[in-house]
Amino acid sequence: MKRTVFFISDGTGITAETLGHSLLAQFDTVDFDQITIPYVKDEEKVRDAVSRINKAAMSDDMPPLVFSTVINDDIRVMLSQSKAFMLDIFSSFLKPLEGALGAESSYSVGKSHSIVDDQSYKVRIDSVHYALDNDDGARTRHYDMADVILIGVSRSGKTPTCLYLALQFGIKAANYPLTEDDLDDLNLPKALREHRSKLFGLSIEPERLAAIRTERKPNSRYASINQCESEVRGAEAIFNRFGIPYVNSTHASIEEISTKVIEAAGIKRRLA
C-alpha cells in the first residue's frame, strides 16, 4: 500500500518532518511517498500546496496525510479545504499548553516566531569549528575547552558524532583516533592522559567496521576482518583498563550515539 505524505510548514518544515518520521515509522506495512513544502507563508504558496495535495489524492485514490505546523489561521483554513487527512500539530497542543501555562501563545495573538537567535547561532558555529579544528587528533592543545573527547579506532563514527553534537546541541566535541601503537601496548596516548574525565569511547562490531573500511579501501589490510577484530579488542581493553565509558555504535543512528554520549558522560546541552 502506498500513501503520499506532506510535511507543510510556514518555517523550515523540520519539526513537521521530525514528528512525522517518528510517527510513520510505527507503520511498517505502509509505503510512504514523502514531500516537504516549507515556507508556506502566502496565498500563492498555499494554493500551490493545496493543488499538489489534491493531485496526489487523485493519483493515489486515497487522501494524502498532511503534517502541518502552519501557524497562520487563514493559511490553515485554506489547507484544511484540501482533500487531505490533516494532522494539525500546533493547534493540537497549543490550546492545552495555553491552559497549563495560563498564558496566551503568539499563535493566538497572531504573530509567528522565528527560531533564530544570534547567541545560539554563535554557539553552534563555534562548536562546529571546534569539532573541525579538533578532528582526528589534529590538535590536542585545546582539549581544555572540550566538553567531551571521543576516542576509538578509525571509522568507528567519531567525526559524524562530533559534528552532530555541535550542530544539534552546541556541544564542543573533539576526537582522537586510537592507533596501532596505542592498541598494541594498551596504553592511553599521552595527549589524553590529563583529560581522563572527558574521554568517551566508541566501539563497533568488527564485521561492521570491516564493511565500512572496505567501502573506503577494498582488499586492504586496514579493512581486513583480522585487523578490525584486533583493533576493536585493543580499544575495548583500553576503555576497560582506564575506566572510560563507551558505547557500541554498531546499528545505532548518529542521533542515538550522540544522545548516549550526552547521557552517559553527563554533558550539558548548550542549546535550549
Shortest Cβ 8–its own copies spacing (Å): 13
Cβ-Cβ contacts under 8 Å for 147 (sequence gap 6 or more): 165, 171, 172, 173, 198, 267, 268, 270
- Residue 96 or 218 with smaller CB distance to its own copies: 96
197 makes contact with its own copies (CB under 8 A)? no
254 makes contact with its own copies (CB under 8 A)? yes
DSSP string, 3-63: EEEEEE-SS-SHHHHHHHHHHHTT-TTSEEEEEEE----SHHHHHHHHHHHHHHHHHHTSP
Q: Hey, which residues between 62 and 81 contact its own copies (CB under 8 A)?
A: 63, 65, 69, 71
For the chain, how far is it from start to end, CA to CA, in angstroms? 39
- Residue 32 or 143 with smaller CB distance to its own copies: 32
> C-alpha grid cell for residue 199?
574521554
92 makes contact with its own copies (CB under 8 A)? yes
The site string for its own copies over 11-50 (x = CB under 8 A, - otherwise) reads xxxxx--xx-xxx-xxxxxx-x-x-x-xx-----------
101 makes contact with its own copies (CB under 8 A)? yes
Rounded to 10 degrees, the C-alpha dihedral 237/239/240/241 comes to 80
- Residue 54 or 159 with smaller CB distance to its own copies: 159
Shortest Cβ 14–its own copies spacing (Å): 5
Can you say which residues are annotated as belonging to the binding site? 152-159
CB 112, CB 106: distance < 8 Å: yes
Q: Hey, which residues between 107 and 136 contact its own copies (CB under 8 A)?
A: 107, 113-118, 120-122, 124-125, 128-129, 132, 135
> C-alpha grid cell for residue 83?
482533500
